[in-house]
Amino acid sequence: MRARELGRKSVVVGDRVGLVGDTSGAPGALARIVRIAERRSVLRRTAEDDATTAEGRLERVVVANADQLVIVSALADPPPRTGFIDRCLVAAYDADIEPLLCLTKADLAGPEAVLGYYTELELPYVLIRPDSDLAALRALLAGRISVMVGHSGVGKSTLVNRLVPAADRAVGTVSAIGRGRHTSTSAVALRLPPQPDSGTDQDPGWIIDTPGVRSFGLAHVSAESLLHGFSDLVEATVDCPANCQHTADEADCALDAWVAAGKADPRRLASYRRLLASRSGEGDPREPERNPGDPLAGS
């Protein structure tokens, strides 16, 4: 239990805490959390993007002390949404957590469209199908605390159960996806099992399964930090006029010329500008932001 003076929402998954009481872990043992250690990283998410409203400012800490953000996206059922992945990349950059793109359901569709969108980024990725070998993923998880985020039904818990056979996380049915049903309802950190072929001193790491989210609100991220989630665009802005807001109506924004010269994908610029617009209250992050002609673009 938590000491009352720590407050109701103070402890999150990933926190390192000080305990007093019976720390034996035996059945019925009671210990009290009295102290929360300083956090190495804090992954935050806001209910909405718009920092001008009370609901928009409602901020949640997803996890503490994570080193790696595993952005889980299905290649089909539900379809991938690059707008959502872009939001996660911004959140990862803002929290100083390394991103890893994890594309599941590779048995149902190919990864070409999603990977094509990210060619200018050095974004590490793994492909997952029901029978795939997980050695490459295990190697990327070793020695770190990784947190998975993604829409409901993309296969986070399915993957956790494969990585940690003792986990026994509930797994949903695809038919429930999109009806607002979320199979996992709380975040859980699990220690990954040691692998027989990696030396005994190799720490296999931790994986944190989280409930599916509809969107990843970014009201807590400044406009300037938003741009740093777009490492393929940031370089262009040295040529922008002072105080350029980088919006589509900025006449001399250097980002337009950068994209016109083929140095970044125009869809990435469109995505960045949708985020900028959404932050100023012009869009609702809960609605898929569809770009006509671009089936990947929703968030």
- Residue by residue, DSSP assigns 104-149 as E-TTTS-SHHHHHHTTTS---EEE--TT---HHHHHHHTTSEEEEE
Selected binder of ligand GTP within 3, 113, 123, 171 (CB under 6 A) = 171
Q: Does 104 bind Mg ion (CB under 5 A)?
A: no
Binders of ligand GTP in range 148-167 (CB under 6 A): 150, 152-158
Residue 128 binding partner per list Mg ion, ligand GTP, none, with a CB distance cut-off of 5 to 8 Å that depends on partner kind? ligand GTP
Residues in the chain: 299
* Token pair for 151: 């829409």
Q: Which stretch binds Mg ion (CB under 5 A): 27-35, 104-112, 156-164, 246-254?
A: 156-164
Give the single-character DSSP code of 68.
E
Q: Minimum distance from CB of 157 to ligand GTP (Å)? A: 3
Q: Does 204 bind ligand GTP (CB under 6 A)?
A: no
Cβ pair 43, 62 in contact under 8 A:
yes
Q: Which stretch binds Mg ion (CB under 5 A): 116-124, 176-184, 246-254, 289-297?
A: 176-184
Residue 77 or 294: the one with the smaller Cβ distance to ligand GTP is 77
Number of residues in contact with ligand GTP, rule: CB under 6 A?
24
Selected binder of ligand GTP within 34, 108, 142, 240 (CB under 6 A) = 108
Q: Does 173 bind ligand GTP (CB under 6 A)?
A: yes
Q: Minimum distance from CB of 219 to Mg ion (Å)? A: 25
Closest CB to ligand GTP: residue number: 212
Residue 157 or 299: the one with the smaller Cβ distance to Mg ion is 157
What does the alpha-carbon distance between residue 163 and residue 159 come to, in Å, rounded to a whole number?
6
What does the alpha-carbon distance between residue 138 and residue 159 come to, in Å, rounded to a whole number?
11
Which residues, 6+ apart, have CB-to-CB distance to 72 below 8 Å?
102, 104, 148, 149, 150, 154, 155, 156, 159
Q: Which stretch binds ligand GTP (CB under 6 A): 12-20, 122-130, 224-232, 256-264?
A: 122-130
Which residues, 6+ apart, have CB-to-CB distance to 38 below 8 Å?
none
Q: Does 184 bind Mg ion (CB under 5 A)?
A: yes
Binders of ligand GTP in range 12-71 (CB under 6 A): none
Selected binder of ligand GTP within 36, 174, 187, 188 (CB under 6 A) = 174
Cα dihedral sign, 75-168-11-142: negative
Q: Does 168 bind ligand GTP (CB under 6 A)?
A: no
Residue 68 binding partner per list Mg ion, ligand GTP, none, with a CB distance cut-off of 5 to 8 Å that depends on partner kind? none
Residue 165: alpha-carbon gap to chain centroid: 23
Continuous H helices in 142-212: 156-163
Q: What share of the chain is helix, strand, coil (3-state, %, to 5)?
A: 25, 20, 55
Residue 132 or 247: the one with the smaller Cβ distance to ligand GTP is 132
Q: Does 80 bind ligand GTP (CB under 6 A)?
A: no
Q: What angle do CA 126, 130, 132 make, to 5 degrees?
A: 50
What does the alpha-carbon distance between residue 228 and residue 280 come to, in Å, rounded to a whole number?
18
Q: Does 183 bind Mg ion (CB under 5 A)?
A: yes
Cβ pair 256, 233 in contact under 8 A:
no
Q: Does 157 bind Mg ion (CB under 5 A)?
A: yes
* Token pair for 104: 């599941």
Q: Which residues bind ligand GTP (CB under 6 A)?
A: 104-105, 107-108, 128-130, 150, 152-158, 171-174, 182-184, 211-212
